[in-house]
Amino acid sequence: MVDIARRMNQLPTLIFNELIEYKKKKISEGSEMIDLSIGSPDQPPPSFVVNELIRNAEDPEQYGYTISGIDAFHQAAAAYYKRFGVQLDPKTEIVQLMGSQDGIVHLPLVFCNPGDIVLVPDPGYTAYESGLNLAEAQAYPMPLLAENGFLPDLSNIPEDIARKAKMMILNFPGNPIPKLATKAFFEEVVAFAKKYGVVVAHDFAYCELVFDNNKPVSFLSVEGAKDIGVEFNSLSKSFNMAGTRVGFLSGNGDVIRLFSQLKSHMDYGIFEPIQRAAALALTDGEAFARSNAALYEARRDTFISGMSRIGWNIQPPDATMFLWAKIPKGKTSLGFTYELMDRAGVVVTPGNAFGGHGEGYVRIALVQNEDTLKKAIQKIDQSGVLK
């Protein structure tokens, strides 16, 4: 056995892989399993995007290195952000990503030395911690608590931690907690970041999946945000293009320039037909995005009302494809997750997989059609796990 770098010891097998293996085991034993764990869209992209991809893939001139984002993509991303009240320079304030996770995991490498502090949401998306571990930075958790409306309380961050912090990572609408942020909260973040010299990175990947006629707030739309921050966006959830791995980072020109410098050492760009299809989605996909959000809103209502009837009351989410569900008293998140698999044949994700403050919850992904969700409700009811 060869010696491995110490950073590999900080990249354990994720709970998603463990759940997949256990699901396979249950299926091999004859169990029927309904998977509501991983947030991978079950619907196709819009047909006009697929057709654009096919059309360009037939062009032999488009099979060379793109090196970075093509002009058409950058222009489309800038035009798209006008919907959120944000003006972006496509040349200096946007860099293309191989999916937003590409940026999320690698951005700390630009700003963090070993031991540097980064403020992160707890619970938060697992890739945030992965990026910090690769940079050998130290995460300082900002608890997302029900009593605070699942927003971080910046006043609870100790002065010495705030002064040492290099970055702050935020995510609204969030994963795993499907909460919208307010403009007032983001204004507080800008003031905090300017006071302490912190770079803010906001994950806006679920900006299109918003319900009840609410409007998402882009961090970059707040006055002063571009002075200290950037925002990740992705086409994975908004346009069901998860497998194409395309997204972008936008905002502060210095951050974009530095991250582009890092990217130049890592890859040779995304396949041009994918970029052109993504550009079309950004410019012509508003109606599709609205209908896609309506689909998840209907699934939310079906699942929550059904669960309420069998005695599991779940807070309706503001947005995203997820539910953040409080589990029955006396149970642990991990124990309840395996109980659901063993007794009901339903796979969810334990809340503590996203941080210590996720204990007592599970995350449920609405990635099955309404009939399958109704079947999951029936299976959970018949299993008796809620008693």
Q: How many CA atoms lie within 13 A of 311 on its CB side?
A: 10
CA distance 322 to 366: 6
Confidence of residue 16 (pLDDT cuts 50, 70, 90): confident
Residue 134 tokens read as 């690769």
The H-assigned helical ranges of the chain are 15-28, 47-57, 71-81, 100-111, 126-135, 159-164, 183-196, 225-228, 253-263, 272-284, 286-309, 333-339, 370-383
Distance, in Å, from the CA atom of 48 to the CA atom of 352, rounded to the nearest integer, reads: 40
82-132 pLDDT tens trace = 999 999 999 999 999 999 999 999 999 999 999 999 999 999 999 999 999
User: How far is Cα 387 from Cα 385, in angstroms, rounded to an integer?
Assistant: 6
Per-residue pLDDT, 1 = 66
- Name the residue with tokens 């941080």: 355
What end-to-end distance do the CA atoms of the chain give, in Å? Answer: 48
Mean local confidence (pLDDT), 184-197:
98
Q: Mention every residue, 6+ apart, whose C-beta is less than 8 A from residue 83.
A: 286
Domains of the chain: 6-44+287-383 (3.90.1150.10), 47-285 (3.40.640.10)
Q: Residue 186 pLDDT > 90, yes or no?
A: yes
Look up the pTM and report it: 0.96
pLDDT digits (tens, 9 = 90+) for 325-363: 999 999 999 999 999 999 999 999 999 999 999 999 999
Q: What separation in angstroms does the CA of 131 have from each of 53, 146, 354? A: 31, 27, 14
In angstroms, what is the C-alpha Rg of the chain? 21
Residue 119 has which token pair? Answer: 């403020």
In the sheet that 361-365 helps form, which strands lie side by side, from edge to edge? 322-326, 361-365, 349-350
**Running DSSP on this structure, what letter comes out for residue 210?**
B
pLDDT above 80: residue 370: yes
Exposure string (b/e) for 126-153, b if CB count within 10 Å is 16 or more? bbbbbbbbbbbbbbbbbbbeeeeebbbe
Judge contact between 349 and 337, C-beta under 8 A.
yes
| Span 250-256, average pLDDT | 98
**Residue 30 identity:** G
